[in-house]
Amino acid sequence: MQEILFLLLPLAFYSGWQAARKRYKERQEKRKQISVHFVRGINYLLSEQPDKALDVFLNYPEIDEYTADTFLLLGNLFRNRGEVTRALRVHQNLVARPDLSKTQRTSAMLALGEDFFSAGMLDRAESVFSELLKDDPKSSDACEPLRNIYEQLHEWDKAIEISQCAQQRGKTDHSRLIAHYYCELATQELQKNNLFRVEETIKQAAKVHPGSSRIQVLRGDLAFARGQRKEALATYQKAILQDTRLMGMLFSQLINNFPEKDELESLYLFTQQAFAKTQDVRLFAYLLQLARKLGKLTDMHTQVEEHLLKGKPTLNTLAYSTEVLSSLWKDQGACEITQIQTALQRLAANQPEFQCSHCGYKMHDYLWRCPACHQWDTVSNV
Ligand SMILES: [Zn+2]
């Protein structure tokens, strides 16, 4: 019996070899078909027939690691070109494939979420990213897009939560953003006159980012809402000293909310001191406005002269300075017009002379090609 088996061994070996050969041939044939498929798709893409290319790729028989990456890139390419519907079709098709690895599925889901986001379908994008986060709670990939979505939807509570998660998982410091979200919440509560909630939310914001000047402004708003006018004014002033840009945002509010003479005097004195300290020309324009409101324009004469001759005049400061000089003319029958002339010349010398009509970029020298948008022959005089 053993001898018969021994004799059958070459036969078994031969049939095994034949079967393996057949399988190899079939695989080769399949690969050949896939390559033909792939090349046809690329050809359609190159000849600007994206829909035909899309049909070829969507009916692609099998996905391996290389084709999955290509599909992903193809979808991203469509999205970057603004063709979001096509991008969605590619990425949806990819996500539905059963033969993807975990990493490929994550990348495809992220891309799909981005497509929904670009299409303005924020609820769909949110559910895709939330599912990703649920599948892999340790990953921070979906946190940033989710934060963007909640920011757009003004869902500040959720934005805070996801930013805290992202901060714990990744290396990005979101303290400044989280403080802004708390400030948005505090502003909403202030509008509803929930002053206790405002105070609590400000405290939370201050815990995250104590140096924020926006928190100071909100403290001023809260004090004002509570009728603590002196404290409110002092807090706003503290905020402006911390960040002089805030004067522009707060000026009308300050003038309207603190119209009493002593309050305006206090503001004038503060602005005078802040300008002396910072030499910020933006403050000088507000100082002149306050002087006008208090009937002190002529007191500003020396400072205006100095500003016109040596300072950094802006259109705003020039306009208010002219008012000071004209009030001098009314009072004393004399004023020096050449000072204005000099200041205007200095201001004009600092202004860019040319501008691109395509993107609005301003420049000092004429250029044939705009350095910002790279268009030719679009530059002309402002
Ligand atoms: Zn341009």
pTM to 2 decimals?
A: 0.73
pLDDT of residue 32: 61
Amino acid at 74: L
pLDDT tens, the chain, 382 aa long: 556 655 565 666 566 667 666 666 666 665 666 667 677 777 777 777 777 777 777 777 777 767 788 888 888 988 998 999 999 998 998 888 888 888 888 999 999 999 999 999 999 999 999 999 888 877 778 888 999 999 999 999 999 999 988 888 777 788 989 999 999 999 999 999 999 999 999 999 999 999 899 999 999 999 999 999 999 999 999 999 998 888 888 998 999 999 999 999 999 999 999 999 988 888 998 999 999 899 888 888 888 888 888 888 888 888 888 888 877 777 776 666 777 777 787 877 788 888 999 999 999 888 888 999 988 889 888 7
Give residue 370 CA to ligand 1 midpoint distance, Å.
5
Q: How far apart are CA 217 and CA 254, in angstroms?
A: 11
Which positions ≥6 away from 265 have C-beta within 8 Å? 294
Give residue 208 CA to ligand 1 midpoint distance, Å.
41
pLDDT of residue 54: 75
pLDDT of residue 48: 74
Give residue 353 CA to ligand 1 midpoint distance, Å.
14
pLDDT of residue 71: 83
Q: How far apart are CA 26 and CA 31, in angstroms?
A: 9
Token representation of residue 97 = 């494939």
Give residue 379 CA to ligand 1 midpoint distance, Å.
8
Give residue 315 CA to ligand 1 midpoint distance, Å.
25
Q: How far apart are CA 55 and CA 35, in angstroms?
A: 16
Give residue 102 CA to ligand 1 midpoint distance, Å.
44
Q: How far apart are CA 88 and CA 109, in angstroms?
A: 11
Give residue 356 CA to ligand 1 midpoint distance, Å.
5
Q: Strand 354-356 vs strand 379-381: parallel, antiparallel, or unpaired?
A: antiparallel
pLDDT of residue 253: 92
Q: How far apart are CA 171 and CA 162, in angstroms?
A: 14
